[in-house]
């Protein structure tokens, strides 16, 4: 009897997981090469199909090559562009948003170099839409 109960419970949970509709679509994801260990820029194109804004709140990677991940904004101060750490990235309702060089972006700090052709597993967590896990390729600047 207990077994049947757990089986039913797992069916209900599976059904619910599939019934939840995803509003966030990741249209592209790339990493910049870092031949010397340092940092790599994670560029994303994100579409929010919801009528409500969402927020990118965490980016994580299980890879031992990744030491830390930060969200950055570009700010102009006395004519000089600087990067500043920010807590999260807003994804407006209906947006088709590019996060990368010159905008709000995601920076990975590295324990090891990253070369063109490498792939890094990355999980993005959105406040409303939950998590998406991707294998992100390292591509050259001309690609
Ligand atoms: Cu940065």
Q: How many domains would you assign to the chain?
A: 1
Separation of CA 44 and ligand 1 centre (Å): 14
Would you say residue 51 lies in a domain? Answer: yes
Q: What is the CA radius of gyration of the chain?
A: 18
CB 31 within 8 A of CB 108: yes
CATH of the domain at 38: 2.60.40.1890
Separation of CA 40 and ligand 1 centre (Å): 9
Separation of CA 74 and ligand 1 centre (Å): 8
Stronger pLDDT, 6 or 89, i.e. the higher one: 89
Separation of CA 72 and ligand 1 centre (Å): 5
Task: Report pLDDT for 18.
Answer: 52
Query: Rounded to whole angstroms, what are the CA distances from 27 to 37, 80, 92, 95, 105?
Result: 28, 31, 16, 12, 15
Separation of CA 106 and ligand 1 centre (Å): 6
When pLDDT is cut at 50, 70 and 90, the band that residue 81 belongs to is confident
Whether the predicted pLDDT of 66 surpasses 80: yes
pLDDT in tens, 108-128: 999 999 999 999 999 999 999
pLDDT in tens, 24-65: 999 999 999 999 989 999 999 999 999 999 999 999 999 999
Range of the domain at 108: 22-137
Whether the predicted pLDDT of 20 surpasses 80: no
Would you say residue 112 lies in a domain? Answer: yes
Would you say residue 101 lies in a domain? Answer: yes
Separation of CA 6 and ligand 1 centre (Å): 47
Query: Rounded to whole angstroms, what are the CA distances from 66 to 43, 72, 87, 132?
Result: 16, 17, 19, 18
Would you say residue 71 lies in a domain? Answer: yes
Would you say residue 109 lies in a domain? Answer: yes
């Amino acid at each position: 009897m207990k077994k049947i109960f757990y089986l039913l419970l797992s069916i209900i949970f599976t059904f619910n997981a599939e019934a939840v509709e995803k509003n966030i679509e990741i249209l592209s994801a790339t990493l910049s090469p870092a031949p010397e260990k340092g940092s790599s820029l994670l560029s994303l194109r994100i579409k929010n199909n919801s009528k409500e804004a969402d927020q990118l709140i965490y980016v994580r990677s299980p890879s031992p090559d990744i030491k830390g991940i930060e969200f950055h904004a570009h700010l102009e101060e006395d004519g000089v562009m600087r990067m500043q750490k920010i807590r999260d990235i807003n994804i407006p309702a209906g947006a088709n948003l590019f996060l990368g060089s010159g905008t709000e972006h995601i920076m990975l700090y590295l324990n090891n170099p990253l070369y063109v052709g490498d792939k890094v597993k990355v999980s993005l967590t959105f406040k409303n839409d939950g998590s998406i896990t991707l294998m992100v390729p390292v591509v050259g600047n001309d690609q």
